[in-house]
Structures are given as C-alpha cells and as structure tokens.
Amino acid sequence: MMQRFKAALLQRRNNLHIHSLRFLNQHHTRNLCSLPDPAITDELDNQVLVEGKAWSRTAILNRPSVLNCLSTAMGARLQKLYTSWENNPDIGFVAMKGSGRAFCAGGDIVTLYHMINAGKMEDCKEFFRMLYTYIYILGTYLKPHVALLNGITMGGGAGVSIPGMFRVATDKTVFATPETLIGFHPDAGASFFLSHLPGHLGEYLGLTGEKLNGAEMISCGLATHYAHSSKLALIEEQLGRLDTDDPSVIETSLEKYSDLVYLDNISVLHRIEILDKCFSHDTVEEIIDSLESETSKTNDAWCISTLRRPKEASPLGLKVSLKSIREGRFQTLDQCLIREYRMSLQGISNQISRDFCELLIFFFSVLFPKGVRARMVDKDLAPKWNPPRLKQASKDMVEHYFSPLSKSEPDLELPTEVPEAFT
C-alpha cells in the first residue's frame, strides 16, 4: 500500500511544484492588472512588511492578531512588491513568512461577511481579484520562491504559498482547506493543487476539511522540505547570505537544514488505499455511502471520524467542491483560478444559496463546525444550510455555481499575455 503511495508521489511531486525549475525569458515583463491608488496608508502597508538582503527579499505577512488573514490591501501590496522584485535584476530570489504563530489562516472572511451584508459587492470582487491575481503571479514567477510555512497554513494561506517553488514545513505546520465546512468551496488555487495530489487525497482534504501536519505535507508533496521550527532562524540566516538566482543552490541550502521525518501511525497517508476506495466515487452521495459501508464493516475510528465531517458541511458546498476538484485535475492553474473566481462570486451573491453567510468558523488552530454568522456574529451556534440535504442540492444548482454572475460580468483577467500551461 505505502509502496503504491510513494510511487504515485514520485510521479506527481514535480507536477505539484507549480513553478517548474525552468525559467521564462528573462526579458519578459509582467503586465499588472489595475491596482488601487498607490497612496495606500502606512497602516495598510504594514500588513505586509519587507525584509531586504543583498540578493533577496522576504515578504512578511503581518497581521498576527488575526493569524495573518489576507485582506484586499495585502493582495494589492503583494502584487506590487512581487512584480517589482521580479523585474529587478539585482534580486535573485524571494521568500515569504508570517508573523507570530501562524503563516496565514486564509482570507479575512469576517470582513468579507460584513462587506456582503453592507451590499459592497464591488469591494468583494476586488478582494478575490487581488488575491487570485497574486496567486497566479506566484505560480508563474520567474524567480525562485521560498515559503516558510511555520504554523497555521489554511485556505488562502495555502493558496499564497503552494504555487511557489519551495515550501518548507515544520513541526508546527497545520494545513487544511476547510471551506466546505464554512459553506464555501476550496478556492485560491486549491482546486488545482488538491487535484494533483496522489490518488484521491485531494477530494478527501477538500470535502472533509481535515488537517495535515508538516510530516504529512512533505510526504504527499504539498511541501518540498521539512525542518524543525528551531532551525528556521538558521535557514533564514543561510538564505540571507546567498548571492544567487539558481534554484539548485537554494535547494541545497534548504536541504542542509532539512530533517528526516516519519509519519505518525495514525496518519491518513497510511490509509491511502481505503481513502482512494471511498473518495474515488463520482458523487458525494456515493462517497458517503462508501464510508458508511466501510464503517459498518470495520467500526474503524478513522472511517467514523471521516464520515462525520461531510455530514456537518454545507450539502451544496460539498457537491460544488467535488466538481471543482475533479475539473481542476484537467485544467491549468490559470483556468482553475478563473473558474474559482466565478464560483466565489456566485457563493457570495446569495443568488443560489446563502450558505456563505452560514460560514463555519475554524478558530484557526482548531476547526469548529459552526458558521461565521453563528459562531462569530450572532453567537447562536446553529448554521442553517440551504438546501439542508444533499438530495435537495440539485444538478442545476451546482452547474449555476460555475457560470458568470450575469452575461455582462467579466471573468478574472490574469496579468500575463500567454499563460503557462501547468499540468
């Protein structure tokens, strides 16, 4: 079983390195989408700090009080910084890290919730445009990129790091894509990188919102390196001394401080065979039926726990998410982001369902199956999904999620003339 998993990993790991080791034409310059007025306040600029070294730059996500949740201003600043650094011949590579105990817990969904309630739809669109466009810039970046994933790395936090060349996980890393549990869909490029994981691990992560630790991330290919958190200062010091734009030199430097790590006995990656058996089915109903069948036959604790998660999630969100991940398996990164942008606008429009306003909040370090409205806003602890049952989430409702808001609604415009076709 593990041999088959490792073989699949070896075949797909390089595919998951969304930025391959080949570089594009060094005379290429990227055309930015329209950015907000450059007179962003110092307070907003401080949401992304910059640490400069002789031959590199580090972007520091700096909202530690909210676990570095991503704002529109952060997306705009990251676009501006990364484009400037990409075109600067004196910068060889770029890194990213988070302030405090999180790398990044995702998008600022509470602010987004209040924008929706205030009817500020254009502000909501700008939020998704800024973040998705930055993710595409990272996924097609001309220079090596190192993300230090120390701490919580969830939702959009995965989106702003996994498309880069190198991802360093630690003993403190906690990864998850919990969007179905909060009435949404795995976005920020998740339908691309989840669908490229070995077997049907991506469907499992996307539909259950379950967490992976750093050892599991390196084992399945979501991370490229693993180091104990006590070594991060040494890694940063070593990277700061490098005078290079050569990915192999950076990789050698990272490997110098990397640790050999083993999976826990209870890791889901030891259960890849039964996971594939259950999550390979065509529909959410069939996946749940398969889990129920395995549970009744084995009374296995993992099956029982796994079965519980989708039963607590948004029924429509589950069906939309499964379709999204399955489509992502055959699409490029840019196609996934464009499709996810459509889906996200549908999700916040309330035209099909109000599930986004029943968001399940995860208190960032621990996931809790209660909505943002319920847990953080109204405190009634009772999310009310619409529709409430899987059988009521019709095919037409799911298909509607993948269409533009209106005939006049423009798709996401990405800042490259010829998109890279990642496979």
Q: What is the DSSP string of 44-76?
A: HHTTEEEEE-SSEEEEEE--GGGTT-B-HHHHH
Tokens of 53: 């070294």
Residue with tokens 């979501």: 222
In sequence order, the 6+-apart residues with CB closer than 8 A to the CB of 90 are: 55
C-alpha neighbours within 13 Å on the C-beta side of residue 307 = 17
Active-site residue set = 107, 156, 179, 187
In sequence order, the 6+-apart residues with CB closer than 8 A to the CB of 122 are: none
Residue 33 has a CB neighbour count (10 Å cut-off) of 17
Start-end of H helices in 68-223: 72-86, 109-117, 121-139, 156-159, 190-193, 201-208, 214-220
Torsion over CA: 91, 97, 98, 103 (sign) = positive
User: 24: exposed, middle or buried (C-beta count within 10 Å: 0-12, 13-18, 19+)?
Assistant: middle
End-to-end, the C-alpha distance of the chain in Å comes to 26
Query: By C-alpha distance, which of 190, 176, 211 is closest to 105?
Result: 176
